[in-house]
Amino acid sequence: MEMREFLMSLSDKVNAAREGTDMIDERAMREMPEVLPIDFGAFSFIPDISISGGRTTSMGGEEGNTRFVENEGGGRIGGNVILPSGTSFGGGISGNYYRGKESSPYHSAKYGPGGSVEEYDAYVSTPSGITATGRYNPTNDDYMIQLLYGKQF
């Protein structure tokens, strides 16, 4: 579980406790098994796919008889290329999806489906120990670029 998901889950539980509602968290995380490199002559490609999702059910509202159900999922699709020289590079895209409904004796409403791209990421790593990474979040137009150097001694 990623730190963001953990904090969101913790926040939901704190809010539910504060409001006196019952919350059942049915989240499940499933990662793809380790994938062996696919060889394309002079280079290898390693796909990188992770998927998570779950369903959250809670009771709340003014009279405590409104049921909220939310289905959500997210993941990352990317890949890594390894050259014969030992240089590797790769990137990916991560995003989320949601839909839900609320129902009470008085009304019923659905929301979603919706989703968004959360982040684009890329990296280049050389055998000499130089690594460059970058991330871009289109939701808040935030980016991060790093240049690292590692040397064994």
Better pLDDT: 117 or 57: 117
In contact, 35 and 46? CB cutoff 8 Å: yes
DSSP 72: E
Give the start-to-end residue ranges of the domains of the chain: 3-149
Task: Spell out the residues 6+ positions from residue 53 whose beta carbon is closer than 8 angstroms to its own.
Answer: 27, 28, 30, 71, 72, 73, 74
Separation in Å, CA 35 to CA 32, 39, 50, 123, 142: 8, 12, 12, 19, 31
Q: Average pLDDT in the 84-107 region?
A: 88
Q: What is the pTM of this model?
A: 0.61
Q: What is the pLDDT of residues 55-74, one digit of tens each?
A: 888 777 777 677 778 888 89
